[in-house]
Structure 1
Amino acid sequence: MSYGLFAASMVVALTYFIACSLVFPHQIEDGDRLDDHFWANKRIVLGLMIVATVLGCVINIIGNLGDAARRIHVFDQVISIFIYCLLIAPAALTRRKWLFAALIGLHMFLYVVEGAVTAFLPEPQVLGDAAPISPNPASDGGARNSQPLA
């Protein structure tokens, strides 16, 4: 791990920390409602979450560009971040509770679907990544394919 990667990761972590520290009030007084605090700080919290998520994605993409086996995931990450920003940015800016709930709910649904698809679909192989299977197991000592051909 390089110093630059460590420093960039710390910036992302600090951004998430600041966003999370603004979710709840530091002092609760009689008559204060958490809803009022949330709606007052929603834009800055979600804005910081967007910044941290995009920074994390950029760091991940930069790290993946050097590895041919991981380069295939760059497109997936860009699409995921685009959808994330498309849903979270309007949620941060809206004052309508129903629209906020719909955008965040849709984001949560898509997040679960993306996780399920990732868990159940096999990893795509990069061309030239898989070792060829020898048609004659005896020619390579049976190292790659120990099953006899039928």
Structure 2
Amino acid sequence: MNSRRDRNARVALFDGIEEGGIRASSSYSSHEIDEQENDRAVDGLQDRVNLLKRAMNLDRCTDRMIKVLKLLSGDIHEEVESHNLMLDRMGNDMDTSRGVLSGTMDKFKKVFETKSSRRMLTLVASFVVIFLVIYYLTR
């Protein structure tokens, strides 16, 4: 009975193992393990390839953004230059106006120095004020 039980145990233990015994079975599982490792390696490489593609796309986007920023900075530079020229011209015009106004003030001083000119100025100023009052009243 013992031998029968041993035989049943042996059959249960080695059930499904082909000729070649344990070595055939272990080579099969090592083949499976190799395939799983290869699949993992392929997946890892695929992930790396995807990351590299994303990085390349980011590099392209970055290059485009740099080109756009260069164009914008060039436009800003041109705009600043044109405004600087405009301000220089305006400063020159103000200097010219200051010269003209100082000459006009000198002439007014001469007019106010004489008594007859003062009377004429008060007469003209009164007519202007009367005209403005009548204009606003009729309006």
TM, length-normalised to structure 1: 0.22
Computing the radius of gyration from Cα coordinates, the structure with the larger value is 2
More helix by percentage: 2
